Amino acid sequence: MPLLETAHVSLKDGCHDFCRKNRRNCDDPCCGCHAYPINEAVLLNGLSNAVKLDLIALPKMFLYRWDLKWCRVFGKLKTLLLNEWFTTVDLVCILRHSPVLEILTLQLDNTENIVGATGAQETITQSFVCERLKFVYIECEKVDEGVRSILSILSTCGILREQISIKEDPCSDSD
């Protein structure tokens, strides 16, 4: 979709791309994780020319996480909104694949899965700089371990605390 500039993708209850056991390639042969192509980025490659992108999903949805492994660079992406479907490893991957990203918004009701990242720790700790990222908006119930992990990653990427706005809302809906 080379002409796509803005996309809002929301994978919720009606989507069958989720793993019942919250893993990839679980031992349940009837699970949705066995039906998804493994060696290609089906959705994210189609969105790689977007300038503004919202990627929303329930934490057990794996479509974005699998696609990140094979995804090309988001060479035009300037504004990105994510909710809590990602892990810290996924966030690093997204930031590395978004060289012109200027605004990142993270809407986090539950950060439990963010910290529970599976993947190589060196992926998180290898430094790189998000030169064009100007603002990060974090909307959360409270600043917890997950939010602190995100702040640590952003700091490693050269994002100053002054560039980050955190809005805590203890009354927000957690699903």
pLDDT of residue 83: 93
Give the CA distances from residue 44 to residues 67, 76, 131, 157, in Å, rounded to whole numbers and listed in that order.
Answer: 6, 13, 23, 23
pLDDT mean by block of 10 residues, the chain; 175 residues? 85 65 63 59 83 89 77 91 89 91 94 62 60 95 91 90 93 57
pLDDT of residue 67: 80
pLDDT of residue 19: 62
Give the integer Cα–Cα distance in Å for 45 and 48.
5
For the entire predicted model, the pTM comes to 0.82
Encoded amino acid at 96, one letter: R
Encoded amino acid at 61, one letter: M
Classify burial at 25, counting beta carbons within 10 Å of its beta carbon; exposed 0-12, middle 13-18, buried 19 or more. middle
Give the integer Cα–Cα distance in Å for 80 and 101.
8
Give the CA distances from residue 56 to residues 109, 121, 125, 162, in Å, rounded to whole numbers and listed in that order.
Answer: 12, 25, 26, 26
What b/e readout covers 130-157, taking b as 16+ CB neighbours within 10 angstroms? beebeebebbbbeeeebbebbbebbebb
Residue whose pair of structure tokens reads 């290609």 in the numeric block: 40
Strands (DSSP E) contained in the chain are 6-11, 52-57, 79-83, 103-108, 135-140, 164-168
- CB-based contact 14:60 (threshold 8 Å): no
